[in-house]
A and B are shown apart, each in its own frame.
Chain A
Amino acid sequence: MSSTESIVVRGVSKRFTMRYHRTLKQMTVALVKGQDLSDTFLALDDVSFTVEQGESIGLMGLNGSGKSTLLKLINGVMRPDEGEVLTRGRIAGLIATGAGFHPQLTGRENIYLNAAILGMSEAETNRKFDDIIEFADIGKFLDTPVGAYSSGMFSRLGFAVAVHTDSDIFLVDEVLAVGDKPFKRKCLARMEEIRKDGRTLFYVSHAAGSVKRMCDRVLVLENGRLGFDGPVKEGIRYLKYDDDGDDVSSENEQDDDENDSELGAEI
């Protein structure tokens, strides 16, 4: 059984430049003043792991640890500077709490555009259109430009399109943090279906409860390095030991979670 991998990440590093000079003038000024033209740092540092088809992975880590960057490499928006990322099949999902929507286009137009980018045909989109708007539940805003949407509506619509594409890999990046409770419940239910269908799920969350419910394996990123790769319970314990003194933030994280009471008992 060698050809069942869904995602292979091998020795991947991603280097970012922190300060960009956007015009030639700024460049020249910086050169004349003898400043560095750029500061770079490693957002991902030699990360390796393999995901089999149908595995459900929780990706955890503090803000800025490189989770969204890793997701962008997996979905192909970014390319690694070193190492390689390989995937099998169609990829859908939401990255960095929002879909790629065009602010001037209406919700309706964006649904078609987004679906087309994800590889859906016109007929396929027509067929699923009613389900999508029912799921997104944005009501009369369907024909207003999405630039005017609240962040919750924005990610609801994005999530709705993404879950209706026939993908083999589904990526979810902290979308649930901006939704309200009923919507969160709906999303989690959908993700559970995706998991049951044997599609690969890659789920970024700070909420230990939903990771526990949704995932069978946890990856923890620490400053761009993979710190932990293993079973969910150990992973969550690993995380909590690490930021022991940081009670405030862990409370906030639990706010995102609908199972927070259960979680409280757990830890």
Chain B
Amino acid sequence: MIRVPVPHTVDPATVPDAPLAPPGANGGLLDVFRRRYLLRLLVRKEIQGRYSGSFLGLFWSYVQPAVRFAMYFFVIGGILGLHDEVEVFGVHMFAGIVFVHFFTESFNAGTRSIIKNKALVRKMAMPREMFPVASMLVSAFHVVPGLVILTVACVAVGWTPDLVGVMAGLLGFVICAVLGTALALLFSAANVFFRDFGNVVNTLTIFVTFSVPMIYPYSMVEQRFRDFADYYLLNPLAEVVLLVQRCFWVGTTDDPTETIEHHIPDHLFLIGFGHLAAALVVLVVAQLVFTRLENKFAERL
């Protein structure tokens, strides 16, 4: 090899006031929150993209949960006769549906997010955690119509909200968001290497509907499984559903104290914070795995 020095004088004024460092983003999720403007653009892009070219636009995000509600209400509630067994069955079920849907959407769309944005990932240096996080935020945005319908329904049947209930609802939401982000991070990275993961996630989310106490009451699980009911609550989504039922459904029943006694497990908050802690651990692990796999994104896409 031939190396011939070329003289060059540097004008000190042009040297940027920054250290020599590896190029690209290295701060992971922290960088995502440092660059909120970019995050906002990505979220807006995806929300617009979902309804672009559609005549009714955002109206669809009200239609879908309403239809989902009607289907479960009449089919499950009517045919299986749960209306008699569970007081205000509609709210019992729909509170769960809204939040479970938030989680599965974060997980599903998040898993596909890196592949979907490969045009950017291949060419531009940016925190790639942006994409799963943006998917989670878009899904959170779409929780709003469901919440509106849910609140209207609650008020219509006579609702007395309480502070403890609202805390439970918030905790449920935060668990969904943290766990959804963590899993989206993990699986979006894995999906770059094996496209199977997109389908695995899709299949997994089908089970969620049946593994949580929304189309059947938790009291039924306690009756049938007895001691095993504790294991049932190891499922974070089951806990989330109970938290949001504590928030919305309990206040719509005739005797809330009686309902809590009967249908809500003891130590609801203790279990909830346990799940939140576990979700945060999963998030840290997901970030570590993502950082390792991310090095090869550009060449694999």
Contact = CB atoms under 8 A, between A and B. Distances in A.
Contacts of B16: 53, 88-90, 168
A88 B24 CA distance: 11
A30 interface: no
A54 interface: yes
B38 A24 contact: no
Contact of B2 (A78, A168, A238): A238
A76 B22 contact: yes
Given A22-B195, A78-B299, A113-B45, A1 B10 contact: yes
Which one of B18, B25, B45, B123 has the greatest number of beta carbons of chain A within 10 Å? Answer: B123
B193 to A, nearest CB: 8
A3 B14 CA distance: 12
Given A22-B194, A87-B21, A101-B119, A77 B14 contact: no
Nearest to A103: B119
A23 B119 contact: no
A104 interface: yes
Contacts of B126: 117
Contact of B10 (A54, A78, A95, A230): A54
B68 interface: no
Interface string B190-206: 00001110000000000
Given A76-B125, A78-B299, A100-B123, A228 B2 contact: yes
B24 A77 contact: yes
A254 to B, nearest CB: 24
A96 B301 CA distance: 15
A118 B25 CA distance: 11
B134 to A, nearest CB: 12
Nearest to B4: A230
A102 interface: yes
B11 A54 contact: yes
A104 B10 contact: no
Interface residues of A, number: 66
Chain B interface size range: 35 or more
B124 interface: yes
B224 interface: no
Interface string B24-46: 11000000000101100110010
B64 interface: no
A90 B124 CA distance: 13
Interface in A212-267: 216-217, 225-231, 234, 238
Contacts of B21: 86-88
A8 B20 contact: yes
Interface in A8-30: 8, 16-17, 20, 22-24, 27
A177 to B, nearest CB: 17
Nearest to B192: A22
Contacts of A91: 23, 125
Contacts of B163: none
Interface in A47-89: 52-55, 72, 74-79, 84-89
Contacts of B13: 198
Given A84-B22, A226-B1, A229-B1, A55 B124 contact: no
B49 A104 contact: yes
B189 to A, nearest CB: 14
A2 B10 CA distance: 11
Contacts of B38: 113, 116-117
A55 B8 contact: yes
Contacts of B295: 78-79
A54 B1 contact: no
Interface string B92-126: 00000000000000000000000001011111111
A87 B21 CA distance: 5
Interface of B: 1-6, 8, 10-16, 18-25, 35, 37-38, 41-42, 45, 49, 117, 119-126, 194-196, 295, 298-300
Given A75-B23, A77-B122, A102-B120, 18 more contacts: A4-B10, A4-B15, A22-B194, A27-B194, A76-B23, A77-B24, A77-B298, A78-B295, A86-B22, A86-B23, A88-B18, A100-B123, A100-B124, A113-B42, A116-B35, A117-B125, A168-B16, A198-B13
18 contacts: A3-B20, A4-B10, A23-B196, A54-B8, A54-B10, A54-B11, A77-B122, A78-B298, A86-B22, A89-B18, A96-B123, A100-B123, A102-B119, A112-B41, A113-B42, A122-B37, A229-B1, A234-B4
Interface of A: 1, 3-6, 8, 16-17, 20, 22-24, 27, 52-55, 72, 74-79, 84-91, 95-96, 98-105, 109, 112-114, 116-118, 121-122, 168, 197-199, 216-217, 225-231, 234, 238
